[in-house]
Amino acid sequence: MEPNTENLLRIIADSPDFIGVIDLDGHFKYCNKAASRLLAHPDDADLGTLSLDDVHPPWAARRVRDTAIPAALATGRWEGESAILRANGREVPVWLEILPQRDASGEPHLLSLIIRDISAQKLSQNLEKHRSTVLQFLVDAAPLPAVLEAIVVGIERIDPTALTSILLLASDGRHLLKGAAPSLPAFYNDAIEGLEIGPGRGSCGTAAATGCRVIVDDIATHPYWAPYKALAASAGLASCWSEPILDSRQNVLGTFAIYHRSPSTPTEEDFALIGQASSLASIAIERRRTEMELDRYRNHLEELVEKRSRTIHDLNRELEQRVRDAENATREKSEFLANMSHEIRSPLNAIIGLTHLIRRSAQDADQIDKLGKIATAGHHLLSVINDILDFSKIESGQLELESNIVELGTLAANITSMLENTARDKGLALKVETFEIPRQVRGDSTRLTQAFLNLATNAVKFTEQGSITLRIRALDDRPDSVLLRFEVTEDPSEGVDGQRFCHTPQLGLWSGAMSANGDTMVGVMRLRSLMSAGADTLAAELDSVLGTAWDDALEACRNGGDGAEASWLSRGVG
């Protein structure tokens, strides 16, 4: 043998690829060392008796005989994907190249085979395809059982010799429940349903209890399977590798297991399958639990919102009822006061009238004085009762405003004449100022006089020195209407400092001053109610330097007509 031939044979023998020589009938004449490794035979095994049917799975052997060898003989070379069958029955994807060897006459008599293991590349492709399929299930929000079944079915497609299952840890954390196991016998799945976890309780029970991978190469001899050996034999299961499924916090969610029908030891490829399946199962289970937790929170929130809504609805109904009760009570009180005021005023008028008659015929000075005091007290009480009656009518909605001609100059003069004696007794100057106002307007002269008189009376009552001015002036003079401002000012003021009140009736205004002067609140309350019923604006502005101004801005029609709406001073053209 030539030296170069010897070197060539050494290279062939040590090649990492499976290199063999077969005859035209498919029987092996030579195999290098890599053949034993790739076929999973012992190193000292005699491979010279093998044929294509021993090396390839049936489908691949037929393809080689019917397609690959004829093509190689015809063209001088053939190459393509194929598969070999390992001793443990597992198919391994390979790249196969066939070259014909010819004799001295040029006729082919042998075939050289170069078989390269491509299982790593194919596994990577298959795992990526499997991962994409499962992730698409998750994106489509498929139910958890469907996702788990897609995981185990995908692993079994990658390794047809594998029988896979996923078990889920029950909510009590002590038992395993079926997740997916389509290839295992139904009786076996039923038997392990609810399996209590713990060391020595099969591969899955131990993995779930310890959180660690459990490899059982031979179920028949392993102590973990002693209680379940007969069950496994009935199902035709000989080995079981179980991987705990862990969540992001390393808590056990369940187990993923690969079974084989013959005793088997896992390879690196097997560990890759186990790792991917358990990882995808973890994502699916944890996602489902998160969705369930969110649903619980959402339902709880909806319950809280519904409960709060019912509470608010009930409170609103209760508030509405209380408002109705309060309105009814106010109306009943106002009706009672209005009726009682009439009942009291009638005998009081009789008392005042009889007192007047007795006084006219009385001769005794002391008796005349006492009768005068009775009359004065009666008139004062009648005034208070009239105020109460007006106030009650306003509250009960019974106040009817009149529409008549109001002589503005006469109105101011009448108020001045009623107060001039009191003002003179206190040393106060009483003035009237009007600024280009219409002579007449249409409105309720009685109510307007009451309001203006009340303001002026309080100004006289609470002013100790200086002057008081009654002022009427036009704020906005139009052809068909005029906006009037009524003012009562005092200078200087010893009334309430720095306060302002609007037309809304309020109690307590000037309470300190009234206590000192022995006055009552009825007049102020009545004034406020009148202003609320018939005017746009009422305000009191007190200033220690500029004095006090009570003002009422009213819009009136010029020389009001009969058709004007009833108010203090009617709006629009009459």
Most confident listed range (99-108, 377-386, 419-428): 99-108
Mean pLDDT score, 240-255? 94
Residue 423 contacts residue 460 (beta carbons within 8 Å): yes
Backbone φ and ψ of 219, nearest 5°: -60, -35
pLDDT band at 391, cuts 50/70/90? low
Number of other CB atoms surrounding residue 302 within 10 Å: 10
Give the pLDDT confidence score for residue 3 in this predicted structure: 52
Cα 41–Cα 47–Cα 53 angle in degrees, nearest 5:
90
* Residues contacting residue 119 through CB under 8 Å, at least 6 positions apart: 92, 93, 94, 269
More confident residue, 75 or 292: 75
Most confident listed range (200-209, 264-273, 457-466): 200-209
Report the C-alpha gap between 376 and 374 in whole angstroms: 6
Average pLDDT along the chain: 80
Number of other CB atoms surrounding residue 256 within 10 Å: 31
pLDDT in tens, 159-177: 988 999 999 999 999 999 9
**Least confident window among 134-143, 183-192, 505-514, 524-533:** 505-514
pLDDT in tens, 93-136: 999 999 999 988 889 999 999 999 998 898 899 999 999 999 99
Percent of the chain with pLDDT over 90: 38
Report the C-alpha gap between 361 and 317 in whole angstroms: 66
Give the pLDDT confidence score for residue 235 in this predicted structure: 96
Which is it for the CA torsion 300, 303, 307, 309, positive or negative?
Answer: positive
More confident residue, 461 or 283: 283
Give the pLDDT confidence score for residue 553 in this predicted structure: 44
Token digits for 321? 């009822």
Most confident listed range (2-11, 208-217, 374-383, 433-442): 208-217
Evaluate if residue 303 carries a pLDDT over 50. Answer: yes
Evaluate if residue 544 carries a pLDDT over 60. Answer: no
Cα separations (Å) of 533 from 221, 415, 552? 104, 22, 13
Tokens 């369940």 belong to residue: 254
**Is the whole model's pTM more than 0.75, yes or no?**
no
Report the C-alpha gap between 157 and 134 in whole angstroms: 13
Closest CA relative to residue 377, chosen from 358, 355, 344, 359: 355
DSSP-derived 3-state class of residue 471: strand
Evaluate if residue 62 carries a pLDDT over 50. Answer: yes
pLDDT in tens, 311-364: 898 889 999 999 988 888 877 877 777 677 667 777 878 888 888 888 888 888
Evaluate if residue 427 carries a pLDDT over 50. Answer: yes
Evaluate if residue 197 carries a pLDDT over 90. Answer: yes
Cα separations (Å) of 360 from 352, 372, 380, 467? 12, 10, 20, 38
Give the pLDDT confidence score for residue 395 in this predicted structure: 63
Report the C-alpha gap between 491 and 385 in whole angstroms: 32
Give the pLDDT confidence score for residue 262 in this predicted structure: 92
Report the C-alpha gap between 257 and 217 in whole angstroms: 13
Give the pLDDT confidence score for residue 541 in this predicted structure: 31
Residue 538 contacts residue 502 (beta carbons within 8 Å): yes
DSSP-derived 3-state class of residue 298: helix
Most confident listed range (154-168, 300-314, 425-439, 510-524): 154-168
